[in-house]
A and B are shown apart, each in its own frame.
Chain A
Amino acid sequence: MEITLNKSGDTNVVCIEGRLDTTNYGELEAQLTGLTDKNEKIILMDLSKMEYISSSGLRILLIFLKKLKAVEGRFMLCGMSAEIRDIFEISGFVNIFEIFDDKEAALNS
């Protein structure tokens, strides 16, 4: 998995490339913790290059959704492939996240 961080205005765009699972969720957790420790309150996860997400990966997203909601921030997702969206639908996660078709739509929201 490769993680790329960019900033667009107040929004921190975190792009994940590859698989997010039990072998590497700690890397993402560390990167996101780095942002929240700096009081960053808006995070957009760009999942357009994500190939797979396991329960461990979903867990990290849920943790940071809760963290940012607690400080009235935003934790958004965008760019899901049909396969990734399927996972989010079965898990019910589509009902708890702000999800956008692409990065532009999320940044303009």
Chain B
Amino acid sequence: MAHYIHFRDPTSMEIEKQLEGIPKCPGTCFFIDVINSTDIKYKSELKDWGKRLNNTFNFISFLNDLPENVVKGIGDELMLYIPDEDLFSKTAYNNYFGLIGEIHATIENLVNFPLEDTFLQCKVSIHYCTEVYNITFFENANDYYGMDIDLTARLMSKAKANRIVMSEKFFTKVKNDMIDNNIRIENTSLADLSGVYMEDFKGVPWPTEYRYIDVKEM
């Protein structure tokens, strides 16, 4: 449950005290954005694009044991956040390697689904967050704030259709899981993962390392 922050007095000292007491909430953030979402609204009717959005969001959230982790939909983009304690207690997967494996499989299933006009293609950005707080400024809402959330959103600028962009910080977590479980990357869905790139993202005061993988047609 998010810490609800609400003070009527803009000069209140109490708000600073309350904010200082809020713990960090490390975990994995990802954004999933629908490709050409504006385009399809001009080319089809609500009954068509609404259905495909419904199908796509269901596929992403329910089939990956993630409905509780959907923070919000922002237009045609989903923000999901999985606190570490939540990830480690999931039954469908319980580590970072399992998580990226299922996300990759999801995008691959969407790309290769044989019936046309059922799903929409997506792009994904993923980052492992340490500078993040489970707070909200709106009653009964859930949200996460912090510079790592902003960085996850910035990573999306390097994504395109059927591409998963992940920060090196997240990939390090995945790599550690593979080492712990004696898994070789060439035997996984990450076999075609790119080399590491470095980019200065707007507002981020230091360069960010990232990798990507393009999900292919079967």
A residues adjacent to B (C-beta < 8 A): 21-23, 26, 52, 54-56, 58-59, 62-63, 65-66, 87, 90-92, 95-96
Question: Across the interface, which residues of B come within 8 angstroms of A55, CB to CB?
Answer: 63-64, 102-103, 105-106, 109
Question: Residue of B at shortest CB range from A58?
Answer: B109
Contact B98 A90 (CB under 8 A): no
6 inter-chain pairs at a CB distance below 8 angstroms, sorted by A residue, are: A21-B102, A52-B92, A54-B64, A56-B102, A63-B218, A87-B63
Question: Across the interface, which residues of A come within 8 angstroms of B115, CB to CB?
Answer: 92, 95-96
Contact B93 A21 (CB under 8 A): yes
Interface size, chain B (Cβ < 8 Å): 27
Contact A54 B92 (CB under 8 A): yes
Complex Cα spacing A21 to B97, Å: 12
Taking a contact as CB atoms closer than 8 A, the residue among B98, B189, B218 that contacts A21 in the complex is: B98
Interface of A is mostly: helix
B144 on interface, CB distance cutoff 8 Å: no
Contact B112 A62 (CB under 8 A): yes
Q: Which of B8-16, B21-29, B54-62, B146-154 touches A? A: B54-62
B89 on interface, CB distance cutoff 8 Å: no
Residues A54 and B59 in contact in the complex (CB < 8 Å), given A21-B93, A22-B93: no
Question: Across the interface, which residues of A come within 8 angstroms of B140, CB to CB?
Answer: none
Contact B59 A91 (CB under 8 A): yes
Residues A66 and B112 in contact in the complex (CB < 8 Å), given A52-B92, A55-B106: yes
Q: A70 to nearest B CB, angstroms?
A: 10
Contact B113 A92 (CB under 8 A): yes
Taking a contact as CB atoms closer than 8 A, the residue among A22, A59, A92 that contacts B119 in the complex is: A92
Complex Cα spacing A91 to B101, Å: 17
Complex Cα spacing A26 to B62, Å: 23
Q: B133 to nearest A CB, angstroms?
A: 30
Question: Residue of A at shortest CB range from B97?
Answer: A22
Contact A66 B102 (CB under 8 A): no
Within 8 A of A (CB), among B55-99: 55, 58-59, 62-64, 91-93, 97-98
Residues A90 and B114 in contact in the complex (CB < 8 Å), given A21-B93, A62-B109: no
Q: B145 to nearest A CB, angstroms?
A: 29
Contact B114 A58 (CB under 8 A): no
Contact A22 B58 (CB under 8 A): no
Residues A23 and B92 in contact in the complex (CB < 8 Å), given A91-B59, A91-B109: no
